[in-house]
Amino acid sequence: MNESHFLRNILLVIGGTIVVGWLAIHLIGWLIGIIFYVAVGALIIGGGIYLYGRAKKSITSGSAARRIGRR
Tens-digit pLDDT string for the chain (71 aa): 566 788 888 999 999 999 999 999 999 999 999 999 999 999 999 999 999 988 888 876 555 555 665 55
| 16: containing domain | 2-70
If one counts the domains in the chain, the total is: 1
Q: In sequence order, which residues have a C-beta less than 8 Å from that of residue 56 and are 6 or more positions away?
A: 65, 68, 69
End-to-end CA separation in angstroms for the chain: 78
Model pTM score = 0.56
Q: How far apart are CA 23 and CA 25, in angstroms?
A: 5
